Chain A
Amino acid sequence: GAGVSQSPRYKVAKRGQDVALRCDPISGHVSLFWYQQALGQGPEFLTYFQNEAQLDKSGLPSDRFFAERPEGSVSTLKIQRTQQEDSAVYLCASSLRSWGQANEKLFFGSGTQLSVL
Chain B
Amino acid sequence: QKEVEQNSGPLSVPEGAIASLNCTYSDRVSQSFFWYRQYSGKSPELIMSIYSNGDKEDGRFTAQLNKASQYVSLLIRDSQPSDSATYLCAVDNAGNMLTFGGGTRLMVKP
Interface residues of A (CB under 8 A from B): 33, 35, 40-45, 48, 55-56, 59, 91, 99-100, 102-111
Residues of chain B contacted by A59 (CB below 8 angstroms): 97
Interface size on B (CB < 8 Å)? Answer: 26
Picked from B36, B43, B102, B103, the residue with its CB within 8 Å of the CB of A111 is B43
Interface pair A43/B88, CB less than 8 Å apart: yes
* Given contact pairs A48-B96, A99-B96, A100-B94, A42 touches B45 in the complex (Cβ within 8 A): no
Contacting residues of chain B (46-104) with chain A, CB-CB under 8 angstroms: 46, 49, 51, 88, 90, 92, 94-103
A99 touches B97 (CB 8 A): yes
- The CA-CA distance from A19 to B78 in the complex, in Å, is 45
Contact B100 A44 (CB under 8 A): yes
Q: Determine whether the beta carbon of A106 is less than 8 Å from that of B102.
A: no
Query: B51, A43: Cβ atoms under 8 Å?
Result: no
Contact present for A42 and B96 (CB under 8 Å) = no
B residues within 8 Å of A by Cβ? 4, 6, 8, 32, 34, 36, 42-46, 49, 51, 88, 90, 92, 94-103
Q: How far is the CA of A102 from the CA of B49 in the complex (A)?
A: 11
How many angstroms between the C-alpha atoms of A104 and B102 in the bound complex?
22
Asked if A106 and B96 make an inter-chain contact with CB atoms under 8 angstroms apart, the answer reads no
Q: How far is the CB of A100 from chain B (nearest CB, A)?
A: 6
**Contact among A56, A91, A105, A111 for B97, CB-based, below 8 A:** A56
Q: Are B102 and A41 in contact (CB under 8 A)?
A: yes
Question: Which chain B residue lies CB-closest to A108?
Answer: B43
Do A103 and B49 have beta carbons less than 8 Å apart? yes
Most buried by B among A40, A44, A105, A106: A106
A43 touching B100 in the complex, CB below 8 Å, given contacts A105-B49, A108-B43: yes
